[in-house]
Each structure stands twice: as structure tokens, then as C-alpha cells.
Amino acid sequence: MNGFSFKIATTPPFSFHKCLIYMQRSPLEISYKIQDNKITRLLSFSHDELPYLIEISSENDQHIIVTVLNHSTINLLQEQEIRQYIVEWFDLDRDLQSFARLVKQDAFLRETIEPLLGLRLIGVPDLFEALCWAIAGQQVNLPFAYRLKAQLVKQFGEKLIWNDDTYYLFPTAASLVDVTVEQLQLLQFTRAKAQTILRVAAQINEGSLSRQQLLDLPDYSLAEQRLVQIKGIGPWTANYVRMRCLRDENAYLPTDVGLQKVLAHWLQLPQKPTVMEIEHLFANWRNHSAYITFYLWSTLYH
């Protein structure tokens, strides 16, 4: 089977290489594999019986080349769904020209993040996956969060073996409906995190919570209010979802320990900046807060 290929045009600034560097920040990542400057990932859409094993590469940063490895042909709807997922995953329809100008004009941003221009804010288009990842990452270090995610995916996600490699789908909300708190605790989730994940799964499965519902609200602050109504989800988790899933350009996390650490380093502070100090700093960067946060985080990996 030769697979089916198509291209997605990109707009500058875009660097596939810089995206790869960020996406390889942890050897514990289970959602995709990266080898020979290509990303391989398993995708599935609700109306299809068979998942799609896609391989993504780039052509001089002007296109992303997508090859569906396990299908010799796909129809137009299937191609559109895969295309839309990748556009949202790599934030390809975002015009970053004004962001690039801000970075070049602002002395602090020019010093800290200008070398990263071309990196896109790698998203998590699926709401349930984004929420589970944010919940797993609450108040733990990044390696442990990755281990939690890997255990959740291996235990409850579907898999495909292709050329002796195993690829996983992130579990659906429906797949966790009958799962107990104790089962998640066996995967090293705390009881509180396990309860929160199952609350989210129940609401998504019954249709009372969805990404589209959040996007249809008049503004992102209302989406945050909706999310924090769920016990176990606070402002940090809600804003993470605003940034990585809902693609809110004004979302950022002033209480995030990683952001505080990075800012303390670049500003040469004797201690981490306070939330108020971070809010004052970010007031200069309205409409670009999400990208600046993401880039500052990414300085740890580049």
C-alpha cells in the first residue's frame, strides 16, 4: 500500500524544524513518533471505522506534506477532516506577522524569543485530550505528567501496529464512562485527578460539554467560567485549554511555575516574579499572550 498524499500550504513565519524541536521535548511522548524529520501519528474521526496513520513532513517550510500510510485512497470529507486537524494542531491559519513585528520591536522579546520565530503554537485540538493532559499536569513535573498520559493511553486507548511500531489513539470520553476512580489510581493518578477526569468524561459523553460549545460562547472568559464550574478544574487548567485547544491568543498562565521560572531567568531576578508582576509585564503584549507564553516555555527546549 503506497498511501495517499496531499499538501497543506503554510505562511511565514513557519519553521517545521523548530516545531519538531519542541515536539521532541520528551522521550515519553506517546501521541506520535518522530524519525527522520517526519511525524507519524494515528488519527480517528467519529464516523470512520478505521483510523488513519498519517506521516507529516515539510517541503522548504512552504508546505506540510501529509501521507495517509494505511489507506491507498480517501474521500474528500476524510481529507478535509485530516487537513483541518493538522491546521489546528500546528495553528497554520494564524497570521503571525503582527506577532513577529512585536517580537522584533520589543527589547525583551527580541532578546528572549526572536530566535524561535517560525515555531507554531502546537495545539491539542481534541477537548477531552486537552483537559486530561492539563489535569495530569497539575502540580507535577513534566516527566511525571508524560508518564501519567502514557499509562492512560496504553490502558484505554486503541492502538495500531504498523511496520512493527505501535501507534495509539488518545482514549475517547466514551471509553472512560465505566472506568472507576480506583482504576485510574492504579495508573498513579491521585484520587482528585481521577475524579476530575471522570467528571469531564461524563459531561463530554452526555453532550453537555464540547469544544464547539465553548467556541460558540461570546468570549473566551465565558469558556473559562464554564470549565471552572467542573470540580477539580481551576483557572490554570482552564487557561491551558484556552491556549492549547480553543486557540485563544490572549490566554496565558501567570500562576504557572514554569513561566515564572523562565521569566526569573531572563529578567535576572533573585526570585520568581509574582502573579501581579507577570500580569503587568503581559499587559504590554495584548493579543499575543498565548504565543509569548508558549515561546518562553519553549526556550527550555531550544
Residues labelled catalytic? 256
Interatomic CA distance for residues 14 and 18, integer angstroms: 8
Amino acid at residue number 293: T
Amino acid at residue number 77: L
Q: What is the dihedral of CA 292, 294, 299, 302, to 10 degrees?
A: -130
Give the 3-state secondary structure of residue 33: strand
How many C-beta atoms lie closer than 10 Å to residue 203's C-beta?
A: 17
How many C-beta atoms lie closer than 10 Å to residue 222's C-beta?
A: 12
Which stretches does DSSP call E strand in 28-172?
32-35, 38-43, 52-59, 63-68, 159-162, 165-168
Residues 6+ apart with CB under 8 A from 288: 98, 99, 102, 249
Interatomic CA distance for residues 205 and 40, integer angstroms: 28
State the helix-helix crossing angle for 127-136 and 191-206, rounded to 10 degrees.
170
| Cβ-contact 48, 28 below 8 angstroms | no
Place of cell 506577532: 99
